[in-house]
Amino acid sequence: MKMSLLAVVPFLCIGPAFAQDAAGPDSAQLYAQTTAATVIILAGEGAGRLRDVATGVVISKDGTILTAWHAVKGALEVQVRLSNGEVYDRVDLVGTDERRDVAALRVTAGGLAFLTPAESLPAQGDPVYAVTNANGLTFSATSGILSAIRPAEEVPGAGTGFRLLQFTAPVAPGASGGALVDKKGQLIGIITGGMRGGAAFAVPIDSVLGLPASGQRVVLGSGSSLQMPAKTAAQVPQSSAALGDVRPKQILHDAKTIHISSKTSFLTVDTLIRALTLEKNWDQLGLTIVQDPRLADVMIEIDRPLFTYVHTFVMTDKRTSVVLGSGKVTAFDGTIASGGIADEIDKIFAAQRLPKAEKK
């Protein structure tokens, strides 16, 4: 099912799973109450430069909001926009749970629409719904079923020591921090950045309800100059010249995570990962390979153009699409080529991350 921009076509695009249920509100009511409590989170890096767009959900009438921790972590400017058009530039961070990737924010407001936590989780196979800001399309609705409740250890890259709700409602970048609700419109989870093979995940609401009471309080700064992008970053690649102060060397130095994708069956992602882990500097680089591109700082795409033996790679900054490095290796076999490509990638990172004396 495709996601729909319900702010434009509110009821025709919700889909059959939003049909009326005798035990809860109909589709129009579900959409209205969930959207009213859904917010847009804009995170910036200073001077009005937008870094991330995420979703948040209001859980109390006095302005307490839950969202994705990775979306606001390190942000110098944060702005919260309500579905009714109201904008809050003063945002306080009042609680974090890095393990579950959830943060609690607060804005100075009263009488806000909010979602009530469900007393219990739905059964496997029950319908679930989400309203998010996925791909920059604000307040889009999707529906699906609860597939499973499973330990995070069973989801590659998710972490350990907590549960996750697996569901089938389609989500995309920008959906992180959004509400997952049951057929009664009650809040059952906060959508996380993890997605594997078409499955999406949320943190059960009962495990993060205590965050606002943690005693933490940090002012995240004014977001008054932040603006929603006309298009997503993926649709509008930016050059380093246009970004001015974005320096590839600094990005390579600061990066924590990388995501690898392949456009060819001749050289697979797993083959390149194995080659990278065998590189002489790999253990000293401090990089983590992630399966979810939304969690990556640097993107690496590999390819082998048709009818050639040339294997190529391009490294880009996930946030800005600035090219950080590229190269090519000519080899009959992808396994052989992987060694040369891994060596080039290793050298590019090592040049910015390791002192000269440590480079082998």
* Catalytically annotated residues: 70, 101, 176
Tell me which DSSP letter residue 121 carries: P
Rounded to 5°, angle at Cα 214 from 210 and 219: 120
Burial of 264 (0-12, 13-18, 19+ CB in 10 A): middle
Dihedral sign (CA 184, 185, 189, 194): positive
Length of the chain: 360
Distance (Å, rounded) from C-alpha 255 to C-alpha 218? Answer: 24
Q: At what angle do helices 334-353 and 269-277 cross, to 10 degrees?
A: 50
Distance (Å, rounded) from C-alpha 53 to C-alpha 68? Answer: 10
- Counts for the chain of helices (H) and strands (E), in that order: 7, 20
DSSP line for 165-205? EEE-S---TT-TT-EEE-TTS-EEEEEEEEEETTEEEEEEG
Distance (Å, rounded) from C-alpha 341 to C-alpha 30? Answer: 50
Question: What CA dihedral angle connects 275, 281, 285 and 290, to 10 degrees?
Answer: 10
Question: What CA dihedral angle connects 137, 138, 139 and 143, to 10 degrees?
Answer: 30
3-state secondary structure 62-112: CCEEEEEHHHHCCCCEEEEEECCCCEECEEEEEEEECCCCEEEEECCCCCC
DSSP-based three-state secondary structure for 120: coil
Do the strands 87-88 and 127-132 form a parallel or antiparallel pair, or are they unpaired? unpaired
